[in-house]
Amino acid sequence: MRRKTMFWLLFSPLTIVSLPILLFFAMNQAFSIVLTYAGFYGIVSYALYKRVYRGIRPKYPVMPPDGKPDIYYAAGIPRPIHEDERLYPWFFKRKRKKPKKTHDEHD
> Which pLDDT tens digit goes with each residue over 14-53?
888 888 888 888 888 888 888 888 888 889 888 888 888 7
Q: How far apart are CA 14 and CA 52, in angstroms?
A: 15
Dihedral (Cα; 89, 91, 92, 93), 10-degree rounding: 100
CB atoms within 10 A of CB 91: 12
Q: The pTM is what?
A: 0.46
- Beta carbons of 66 and 88 less than 8 angstroms apart: yes
Burial classification of residue 102, based on how many CB atoms lie within 10 Å of its CB (0-12 exposed, 13-18 middle, 19 or more buried): exposed
